[in-house]
């Protein structure tokens, strides 16, 4: 596995000691929407921890212990909306009013997670708690009582969102209040959805990770756009280094492209039926593998939404979500969280123009169905890369084709030896790079000054590889015959 570079630790603005690597876990929203209750959560927890014979030679493995998906997230559906003071979600003491029919005991639920060596996270500032009522009842916010609730219920992480006209939204005050409980929690900033101030003031990050764009949806182009049109803004572009000493996405402050949409929503749920009716469910396995690789190359937190309690479903996705080379790339740090290295020109005839992109709300349940469909353009292909700490000069590269594989006049999908060296941060290219396929471990053809990397990639598919300088013995003069 690729390891974190030495010396990685708390950075300026780091709220606590958490989040040195991107979070991995499961959340309820994309899986079941509002059809969540304590039984659903505890079933998912059991699925994350369950040992299954999916390892090499039938060895017993689990999503949590083997692959690191150890956080179970309650992502809405727990509050008793309107039952608090003035129609808010908080009682007279400023504490969250929980729907105890669905969740008899949040404390018992988190205890169940801890008994399985999992953590539990909570969508605390939920957008189902209507902003106008919250603001009228609590004009100064509920920072201290929300923090006290998170601690009392035993949660290990919190997500903060926004509601139009809502209460005081001060992520710094929430961070201070949460860490003041003596139990540092993993903090997600889901309020701003695209906090561009981090591009000029990256140290202003009193949270552990942040949503970089709108809600994701189980639709290939929608999900791709969450990285390419949003998260990529917080990554360096091309082969040049990122300006500034502190990257906008980094350990303790990672950009997050939202939950992975692979295998979700769960079949048989209302949210799956609603998404399928709108044409945004049931992607192909190639599409889902491509998206997972893109999330890894961009260092996004990896949050699952498929049925982790169903053995057949887990077996289907295990080769993707538990691939140790892909997970190591996601967790590695060598000074950057990934970058958009290269893309086909806008004039490429194989590019996609005026494509309908679903945001998450447009694919969800009816009460969240107000999200507008977005028209966007997509290049014929893109290449993302991420520098790795070892071996020296190593770089992960994923090439994704959006448009048709063969169109007259289309630009070739390729990387030269010099471009690979630039992606790896090498001032002088080596004589050759060797490629290792991330998914299979197979070693591919060497890249030389005479032979660029030209992966054969079908539409809505990808090639994911790690390149490293070849061992000594080959020279630039060894031109293939």
pLDDT in tens, 92-145: 999 999 999 999 999 999 999 999 999 999 998 776 777 788 888 888 888 889
**Residue numbers of the domain that contains 150:** 24-338
**Mean pLDDT within 332-352:** 94
Final residue before a domain boundary, out of 307, 338, 369: 338
Residue closest to 71 by CA, chosen among 21, 125, 114, 9? 114
Instruction: With cut-offs at 50, 70 and 90, classify the pLDDT of residue 364.
Output: low
Using a pLDDT cut of 90, give the percent of the chain over it.
64
| Whether residue 55 has pLDDT greater than 80 | yes
Between 456 and 354, the higher pLDDT residue = 456
Pairwise CA distance, residues 139 & 313, whole Å: 46
Question: Is the distance from CB of 158 to CB of 186 less than 8 angstroms?
Answer: yes
Using DSSP, state whether 330 is helix, strand or coil: helix
Assess whether pLDDT exceeds 70 at residue 256: yes
For residue 9, being part of any structural domain is answered with no
Boundary residue ending a domain (274, 305, 338): 338
Distance linking the first and last C-alpha atoms of the chain: 35
The answer as to whether 6 is a domain residue is: no
Residue 167 confidence (pLDDT):
52
pLDDT above 60 (res 5): no
Query: Do 266 and 383 have their domain in common?
Result: no
User: What confidence score (pLDDT) does residue 431 get?
Assistant: 94
Domain match, 318 and 400 both? no
CA 293 to chain centroid, in Å, comes to 11
191: region left, alpha or beta (phi > 0 left; psi from -120 to 50 alpha): alpha
How far is 42 from 129, CA to CA, in rounded Å?
Answer: 24
pLDDT for the residue numbered 452: 96
Residue 407's pLDDT band, with cuts at 50, 70 and 90, is confident
- Give, to the nearest 10 degrees, the angle between helix 285-297 and helix 311-321: 50
Q: What is the CATH number of the domain that holds 397?
A: 2.60.40.1180
Radius of gyration of the chain (CA): 23
Beta strands in 48-132 (DSSP E): 71-74, 119-125
Task: Give the end of a domain, one of 284, 311, 338.
Answer: 338
Residue 373 lies in a domain: no
> What is the model's pLDDT at position 386?
97
Q: Are residues 309 and 383 both part of a single domain? A: no
> Distance (Å, rounded) from C-alpha 420 to C-alpha 87?
58
Q: Of all residues in the chain, what percent carry a pLDDT higher than 70?
A: 89
**What Cα–Cα distance (Å) separates residue 355 from each residue in 25, 321, 345, 459?**
31, 28, 17, 15
Query: How far is Cα 306 from Cα 48, in angstroms, rounded to an integer?
Result: 11
| Residue 389 and residue 327 share a domain | no
For the beta carbon of residue 35, count every other beta carbon within 10 angstroms: 18
CATH number of residue 58's parent domain: 3.20.20.70
**How many distinct structural domains can be found in the chain?**
2
For residues 330 and 448, membership in a common domain is answered with no
> Does 326 map to a domain?
yes
Q: Tell whether 80 and 116 lie within a shared domain.
A: yes
Inside any domain, residue 477:
no
pLDDT at 290 over 90: yes
Say how many C-beta atoms besides its own lie within 10 A of residue 460's C-beta: 19
Mean pLDDT of the 277-306 span:
95
Tracing tokens 């974190």 back to the chain, one arrives at 4
Q: Rounding to the nearest 10 degrees, give the CA dihedral for residues 69, 328, 7, 196.
A: -70
Q: Is the domain of 227 the same as that of 138?
A: yes
Residues 283 and 347 in one domain: no
Q: Show Cβ contacts of residue 239 under 8 Å, excluding neighbours closer than 6 positions.
A: 341, 419, 422, 423
pLDDT for 6: 29
- Residues 36 and 45: their CA atoms lie apart, in Å, by 13
Same domain, 181 and 293: yes
pLDDT tens for 172-225 read: 777 778 877 778 899 999 888 889 999 998 888 889 999 999 899 999 999 999
Supply the pTM of this predicted model. Answer: 0.92
Q: Is the pLDDT of residue 235 over 90?
A: yes
- DSSP letter (8 states) at residue 453: B
Classify residue 13: in a domain, yes or no: no
Task: Tell me, rounded to whole angstroms, the distance of Cα 342 from its chain centroid.
Answer: 21
319 and 348 co-located in one domain:
no
Query: What does the mean pLDDT of the chain come to?
Result: 87
- One domain for residues 245 and 146: yes
Looking at residue 130, what is its pLDDT?
76
Residue 79 within a domain:
yes
Looking at the domain assignment, is residue 371 inside a domain? no
The answer to which of 155-169, 347-361, 401-415 has the lowest mean pLDDT is 155-169
Domain identity same for 348 and 315: no
Q: What's the whole-number mean pLDDT along residues 7-11?
A: 36
| Range 220-254 burial, b when 16+ CB lie within 10 A, else e | bbbbbbbbbbbbbbbbbeebeebeeeebbbbbbbb
């Amino acid at each position: 596995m690729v390891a974190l570079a030495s010396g990685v630790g708390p950075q300026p603005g780091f709220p606590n000691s958490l989040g040195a690597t991107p979070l991995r876990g499961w959340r309820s929203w994309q899986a079941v929407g509002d059809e969540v209750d304590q039984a659903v959560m505890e079933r998912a927890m059991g699925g994350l921890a369950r040992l299954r014979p999916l390892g090499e030679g039938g060895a017993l493995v689990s999503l949590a212990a083997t692959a690191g998906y150890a956080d179970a997230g309650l992502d809405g559906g727990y509050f008793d909306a309107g039952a608090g003071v003035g129609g808010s979600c908080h009682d007279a003491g400023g504490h969250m009013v929980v729907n105890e029919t669905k969740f008899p005991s949040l404390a018992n639920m988190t205890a169940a997670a801890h008994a399985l060596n999992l953590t539990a996270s909570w969508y605390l500032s939920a957008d189902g708690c209507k902003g106008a009522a919250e603001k009228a009842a609590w004009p100064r916010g509920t920072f201290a009582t929300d923090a006290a609730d998170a601690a009392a219920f035993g949660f290990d992480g919190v997500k903060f969102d926004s509601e139009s006209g809502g209460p005081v939204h001060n992520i710094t005050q929430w961070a201070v209040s949460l860490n003041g409980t003596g139990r540092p929690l993993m903090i997600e900033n889901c309020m701003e959805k695209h906090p561009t101030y981090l591009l000029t003031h990256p140290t202003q990050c009193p949270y552990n990770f942040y949503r970089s764009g709108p809600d994701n949806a189980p639709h290939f182009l929608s999900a791709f756009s969450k990285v390419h049109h949003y998260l990529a803004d917080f990554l360096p572009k091309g082969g040049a280094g990122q300006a500034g000493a502190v990257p906008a996405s980094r350990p303790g402050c990672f950009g997050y492209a939202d939950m992975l949409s692979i295998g979700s929503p769960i079949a048989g749920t209302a949210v799956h039926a609603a998404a399928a009716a709108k044409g945004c469910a049931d992607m192909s396995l190639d599409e889902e593998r491509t998206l997972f690789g893109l999330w890894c190359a961009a260092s996004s937190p990896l949050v699952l939404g498929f049925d982790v309690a169903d053995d057949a479903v887990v077996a289907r996705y295990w080769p993707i979500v538990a691939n140790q080379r892909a997970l190591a790339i996601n967790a590695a740090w060598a000074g950057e969280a990934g970058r958009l290295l290269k893309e086909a020109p806008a004039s490429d005839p194989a590019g996609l123009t005026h494509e309908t992109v679903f945001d998450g709300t447009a694919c969800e349940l009816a009460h969240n169905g107000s999200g507008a469909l977005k028209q966007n353009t997509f290049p014929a292909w893109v290449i993302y890369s991420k520098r790795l700490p070892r071996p020296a000069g190593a770089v992960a590269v994923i090439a994704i084709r959006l448009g048709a594989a063969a169109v007259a006049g289309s630009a070739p999908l390729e990387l030269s030896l010099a471009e690979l060296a630039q992606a790896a941060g090498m001032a002088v290219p080596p004589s050759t790079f060797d490629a290792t396929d991330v998914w299979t471990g197979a070693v591919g053809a060497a890249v030389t000054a005479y032979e660029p990397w030209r992966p054969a990639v079908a539409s809505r598919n990808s090639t994911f590889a790690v390149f490293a300088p070849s061992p000594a013995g080959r020279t630039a003069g060894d031109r293939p015959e």
